[in-house]
Amino acid sequence: MVAKNHQQWKANPPLQGDEWVNSRIYSDQAIFDEELEKIFKHTWIPVCHESELPKPYDFRTMSIAREPIVICRGPDNEVRAFLNVCPHRGMIIERRPSGSFLEGQPSGNPKRMTCMFHAWQYDMKGNCVYISREKEGYQDRLCKEDIGLRRLRCEVKFGGFVWVNLDDNPAVSLEDWGSKAFDCLRKSIDAEPLEVFHYHKAIVNTNYKLWHDTNCEFYHDFMHYHNRVTGFNDAYFARKNEAFENGHITVGTFEVNYDQYEGFESRADLSFPHLPPNQWYMIDLFPGMNFNLRGSALRCDIVTPLGPDKVMIEYRGLGLKRDTPEERQTRINHHNSIWGPFGRNLHEDLIGVQGQGTAMQTGSEPRRLLLGRHENQTIHDENGMRHYYEEWGRWMNRLPSNPDLPFTEHQYATATAAE
């Protein structure tokens, strides 16, 4: 077919209903707001790694679905999460990205979370322990025992990541939610404590789902010269995409020939426990987290959607806590040469999704994006994305190919209903 006129360009493709999506799901403000309400406020999100809070009173802050949260380690060594909002007049309590409550601050008592606005104080369990001029202002009508932070569901699991759910009664436990997808990596990441050695973040002008797509489809390895040189062989094309409950997928392992790329060396000498040399596993969790173990380094991406066409992505690299300085340096080199901000692959992925974001800004004419490749669920099949959007449709009760229609499994799989 030759180039299309406007009417032809807007026509639906000759594919099944689950083999394409309408780009409004990446650009529509109302759909975005609904995603925060229906998905992000009810699902498990990894907010950081326990090694980033190594000592009692260490803390980190971040946000989920526009709600600020603070994660801190108590004197009892427990990691807890709270809404980072003061119950007095709604001020954000801690504004630093990370630090320690152990030492005092000009507006903060030692070992306390202190709201600098009117100096109310909270301990590491979220109890209010001090209200300034309490008796004078409230007499006996309100006391610190009536006040407390909002505690959030928080667990340390799957390689020592700290998971938070804003829903007090999540539909599934964290273990049930993630365990099947994590099966392929669990022995490697739970054998002994891990440690974050790399952190950077990027604010990218694209939809968070497009970043997740890029992590779970490997067809775009045509963009990655490094991957083509080190990986395009029979074992690569036999890698399986496996779908799991709750919208997760994994990409199976194969041996990467790093030494095929000029300047790179084999990574066989340094790996993770129970992981054969130079292997590569990938876990993509709904709605947008990625765990990627390439031999010597584990990478984790966590997305924080900021708008329909804006996402913050936090990248972490992890090794073993007991690494020798030499081992750690090797892991850092391996991680950064592929995935650091100046690595071989990461910037190419960012160019890809920013290009999509540029073409699908809020207000742009809806387009159709194809997810219709079928190759026996191997590496260039797009079954991972189809599985993801089926889960998205269920949570949102919207059909990905026509988000004005309610989701049903039958409609999702048939073309005509999506007209």
CB of 64 to Fe ion, least distance (A): 26
Q: Which is nearer to ligand FES, 55 or 135 (CB)?
A: 135
Binding of Fe ion by 18 (CB under 5 A) = no
Candidates 4, 10, 66, 89; binder of ligand FES (CB under 6 A) is 89
CB of 145 to Fe ion, least distance (A): 53
Q: Which does 323 bind (CB under 5 to 8 A by kind): Fe ion, ligand FES, none?
A: none
**Rounded to whole angstroms, how far apart are CA atoms 308 and 362?**
7
Which span (83-91, 170-178, 244-252, 332-340) binds ligand FES, by CB under 6 A?
83-91
Helix (H, G, I), strand (E, B) or coil at 299: strand
Q: What is the DSSP letter of 111?
A: T
C-alpha distances (whole Å) from 321 to each of 136, 272, 311, 318 are 51, 11, 30, 9
Q: Which is nearer to ligand FES, 117 or 237 (CB)?
A: 117
**Rounded to whole angstroms, how far apart are CA atoms 265 and 44?**
37
CB of 128 to ligand FES, least distance (A): 10
Angle separating helix axes 208-216 and 383-396, nearest 10 degrees? 150
Burial 51-75 (b: 16+ CB within 10 A, else e): bbbeebbbbbbbebbebbbbbbbbe
CB of 216 to Fe ion, least distance (A): 10
Q: Which is nearer to Fe ion, 18 or 349 (CB)?
A: 349
Q: Name the one residue in this structure whose structure tokens are 């949102």.
A: 396
Candidates 15, 109, 117, 130; binder of ligand FES (CB under 6 A) is 117
Which span (172-180, 280-288, 332-340, 345-353) binds Fe ion, by CB under 5 A?
345-353
Which span (20-28, 88-96, 279-287, 407-415) binds ligand FES, by CB under 6 A?
88-96
407: Cα separation from own chain's centroid = 24
Secondary structure string (H, E, C) spanning 112-155: CEECCCCCCEECCCCEEEECCCHHHHHCCCCCHHHCECCEEEEE
Handedness of CA 354, 257, 197, 186 (dihedral sign): positive
Candidates 53, 70, 71, 86; binder of ligand FES (CB under 6 A) is 86
Q: Which one, of 196, 200, 201, 197, lies nearest residue 50 by Cα?
A: 196
Q: Which does 120 bind (CB under 5 to 8 A by kind): Fe ion, ligand FES, none?
A: ligand FES
130: Cα separation from own chain's centroid = 36
Q: Which amino acid is at 150?
A: R
Q: Which is nearer to ligand FES, 117 or 232 (CB)?
A: 117
CB of 328 to ligand FES, least distance (A): 41
Which span (113-121, 185-193, 327-335, 347-355) binds Fe ion, by CB under 5 A?
347-355
Helix (H, G, I), strand (E, B) or coil at 263: coil
Candidates 4, 66, 95, 118; binder of ligand FES (CB under 6 A) is 118
Binding of ligand FES by 373 (CB under 6 A) = no
Residue nearest to Fe ion (CB): 349
Number of chain positions touching ligand FES (CB under 6 A)? 8
Tokens matching residue 33: 């707001």
Query: Do residues 389 and 286 lie in contact, with contact meaning Cβ atoms separated by under 8 Å?
Result: no
Binding of Fe ion by 349 (CB under 5 A) = yes
**Rounded to whole angstroms, how far apart are CA atoms 194 and 55?**
15
Which span (73-81, 110-118, 217-225, 281-289) binds ligand FES, by CB under 6 A?
110-118
Q: Which is nearer to ligand FES, 118 or 374 (CB)?
A: 118
Q: Which does 88 bind (CB under 5 to 8 A by kind): Fe ion, ligand FES, none?
A: ligand FES
Binding of ligand FES by 88 (CB under 6 A) = yes
Q: Which does 349 bind (CB under 5 to 8 A by kind): ligand FES, Fe ion, none?
A: Fe ion
Helix (H, G, I), strand (E, B) or coil at 207: coil
Binding of ligand FES by 95 (CB under 6 A) = no
Contacts of 162 (CB under 8 A, 6+ apart): 46, 47, 48, 49, 50, 53, 71, 79, 81, 154, 155, 156
Question: Which positions touch ligand FES (CB under 6 A)?
Answer: 86, 88-89, 91, 115, 117-118, 120
Question: Which positions touch Fe ion (CB under 5 A)?
Answer: 349
